[in-house]
Amino acid sequence: MKKPQPAQAAQPAKPRPPRLLLAVLALAVLLALAHTALWFWGVRTMEANLDAFVATQRAQGWTVEPGTRATGGWPMAIELALANPAMAADTPDLPAGFAWKAERVVLSVALLHPRTLTITPQGQQSLRLNNGPVLPYETQSMVTRVALEPGAPPRQETTEIAGLRMRLPAGALTVAKLRWDLLSNPNAAKDAPAVTFNAEATQIGLPAPPGAESASWPLGQSIAALSASGALTGPLSRVPGLSARAAAWRDGGGKLDISRFSLAWGPLDLSGHATLGLDDRLQPSGAGELRATGQNETLDALAANRVLPARAAQTAKAVLALMARTPQGGGPPAVEMPLTLQDRALTMGRIPLLRLPELVWPDVQ
């Protein structure tokens, strides 16, 4: 009789991953693949748009060198870095000899904000206008944000600059902070804003004044603040040539409405508004109003630096003293001055202030 065999112990069943966990992992893999595919599609789209921009500018007479490219920004942004890009033009639509180049420019679109293109120049840059000298400059930071619209050219941009330093023949021009906002409407009808703008700058360090005996400006070497806002009314002509476009804009009733202007320079504080246009000789003309404080100290500084004769400064002080009013609540006396610009002569009421140099359009020989 056989002995009974001992019963074998039951093997514990291997744990199976929960179906929910498998589904989550599969979904994560699919999302990662989709995100990667979206990123590569975004890179190809950005490169195609850059190629289209270069082709369009070259067809319009520009010389465009986008430089070597490098992609980056994964996973949260699409970036295209351009090394040594450059643009130049000598066409009827721009001052002769215009040229710009940079050491590096980064084009970026954040995946969470796909309707905003960020343009970030980096390193050394240079600018040339009207066949003049090359003006090298650098910034601590510079960012331009452009609002993207499907199937339409960009209309809105904001640029912010910190620590600008430009080397001019007379010395360095520095700006602590500079910002401007532009909103364009190329199809604006008559009396409608074609370009709306707002610009402001602080701590502007000036180079030596050109052709002056003294190496300093009468009101100081630094402008504390400068700002302006307004609109350029349309319609904007597309005829070739700057002077022809200006004439067409004038004939269409174009105006530059400066709704707000302010300047703080040494003892002088100016604010005001104006409306400007072009006369039959394409020279600026218009009218406005200024409000000034610190006028006596300003006239003394101009006389001391021989910008104004001492007798003329004293006469101007006497006239302005009659016009000055002390604001309600106290403060320095302020002068409100109606100004007119006609035939290149700037006048306050009937008192001539100065004569402006002739505006020579770059495409007019």
Instruction: Measure Cα distances from 268 to 199, 226, 291, 348, 349 in Å.
Output: 20, 12, 10, 17, 20
Tell me the three state secondary structure of residue 147: strand
Q: Residue 95's pLDDT is what?
A: 62
Q: Residue 21's pLDDT is what?
A: 76
Minimal CA–CA distance to 341: which of 272, 284, 278?
284
Span 259-281, pLDDT tens digits: 999 999 999 999 999 999 999 99
Mean pLDDT over the full length of the chain: 87
Q: Residue 272's pLDDT is what?
A: 95
CA 6/CA 313 separation, integer angstroms: 123
In SS3 terms, 246-287 reads as HHHHHHCCCCEEEEEEEEEECCEEEEEEEEEEECCCCCEEEE
Q: 240-249 contacts: CB < 8 A, separation 24 or more? A: 240/92, 240/93, 241/92, 241/93, 241/363, 242/92, 242/93, 242/94, 242/95, 242/361, 242/362, 242/363, 243/282, 243/361, 243/363, 243/364, 244/92, 245/93, 246/278, 246/282, 246/361, 247/278, 247/282, 249/278
Span 344-357, pLDDT tens digits: 988 877 777 778 88
Other CB atoms within a 10 A radius of the CB of residue 351 amount to: 10
pTM above threshold 0.95: no
Span 72-93, pLDDT tens digits: 998 889 999 999 999 998 666 6
pLDDT of residue 7 exceeding 80, the answer is: no
Span 120-163, pLDDT tens digits: 999 999 999 877 889 999 999 999 999 988 777 778 999 999 99
Average of pLDDT values for 99-111?
95
Domain range annotation of the chain: 29-138
pLDDT of residue 107 exceeding 80, the answer is: yes
Span 202-261, pLDDT tens digits: 999 999 887 655 568 889 999 999 999 999 997 888 787 788 888 988 988 899 999 999
